[in-house]
């Protein structure tokens, strides 16, 4: 497993590298977002640990650029722990968020958890999905190819929007609580709340245009995918 550690503070990179190498990960470093983007073009990483505040290109911008081409899991590091910052990170596809100062041991535990979720998600897609495209009126969903088309036009969505839509579709017709969605899409160890689900549902509906109607709100409970919704 190869990790990329991105932080403009050399001492933080050194500490994280030490703990990561102890866990037998291969480690590369970058000291700003621009360098991180370039390294990701040259190599394939299993996970990226990315600081938010950096010169040349901040962590959020670097993550957005990387996610355009690769679905590499990203854990953000930040001295700011406000809910807005975390939700913004999740909206652009970040997988976890760690507030500075942090425990290197906890960070490594989160690295393992994110890698396990990523691997499990990939295996589940490979075993459950096939090349058949699911069509609901003008909404076309290719789970194996991780592509969604709205009236023939490819939708641009974050990785979590795809994950959320695919989970809803696999369980179409079933009432799913917010807790169930958090548990199944984000994982048991995710530190979030109902607003995380609601934020991503809102984003997903915007991406689906008129076919947002298929994602039905169950008041006081959660959501379901209803292929017969009008």
Each residue of 117-143: pLDDT tens digit? 777 655 555 545 445 678 999 999 988
State the Cα–Cα distance between residues 228 and 207, nearest whole angstrom. Answer: 19
Instruction: Encode pLDDT of 179-190 as tens digits.
Output: 888 888 877 555
HSE-CB of 118 using CA atoms within 13 angstroms: 21
- Percent of the chain with pLDDT strictly greater than 90: 52
Q: Is the pLDDT of residue 18 over 70?
A: yes
Full set of structural domains in the chain with CATH: 2-125 (3.40.50.2300), 129-225 (1.10.10.10)
* 196: confidence class by pLDDT, cuts 50, 70, 90: confident
At 23-72, the pLDDT tens digits run 999 999 999 999 999 999 889 999 999 999 998 899 999 998 898 788 88
Amino acid 118: pLDDT: 72
- Per-residue pLDDT reduced to its tens digit, 47-60: 999 999 998 899 99
Angle of CA points 8, 73, 142, to nearest 5° = 145
Give the sign of the dihedral formed by CA 96, CA 100, CA 103, CA 108.
Answer: positive
Q: State yes or no: pLDDT of 192 exceeds 90.
A: no
CA 107 to chain centre: 17
Other Cβ atoms closer than 10 A to 43: 10
């Amino acid at each position: 497993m190869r990790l990329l550690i991105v932080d403009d503070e050399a001492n933080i990179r050194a500490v994280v590298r030490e703990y990561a190498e102890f866990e037998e990960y291969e480690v590369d470093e970058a000291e700003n977002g621009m360098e991180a983007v370039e390294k990701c073009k040259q190599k394939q990483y299993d996970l990226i640990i990315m600081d938010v505040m950096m010169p040349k290109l901040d962590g959020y911008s670097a993550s957005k650029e990387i996610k355009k081409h690769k679905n590499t899991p990203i854990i953000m590091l930040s001295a700011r722990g406000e809910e807005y910052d975390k939700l913004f990170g999740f909206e652009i596809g970040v997988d976890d968020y760690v507030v500075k100062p942090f425990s290197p041991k906890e960070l490594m535990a989160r690295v393992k958890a994110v890698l396990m979720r990523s691997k499990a998600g990939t295996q589940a897609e490979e075993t459950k999905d096939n090349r058949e495209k699911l069509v609901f009126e003008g909404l076309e969903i290719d789970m194996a190819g991780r592509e969604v088309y709205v009236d023939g036009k490819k939708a641009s969505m974050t990785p979590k929007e795809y994950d959320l839509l695919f989970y809803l579709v696999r369980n179409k017709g079933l009432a799913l609580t917010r807790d169930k969605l958090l548990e199944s899409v984000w994982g048991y160890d995710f530190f979030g709340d109902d607003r995380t689900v609601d934020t991503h549902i809102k984003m997903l509906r915007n991406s689906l245009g008129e076919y947002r109607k298929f994602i039905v709100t169950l008041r006081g409970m959660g959501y379901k995918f209803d292929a017969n919704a009008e």
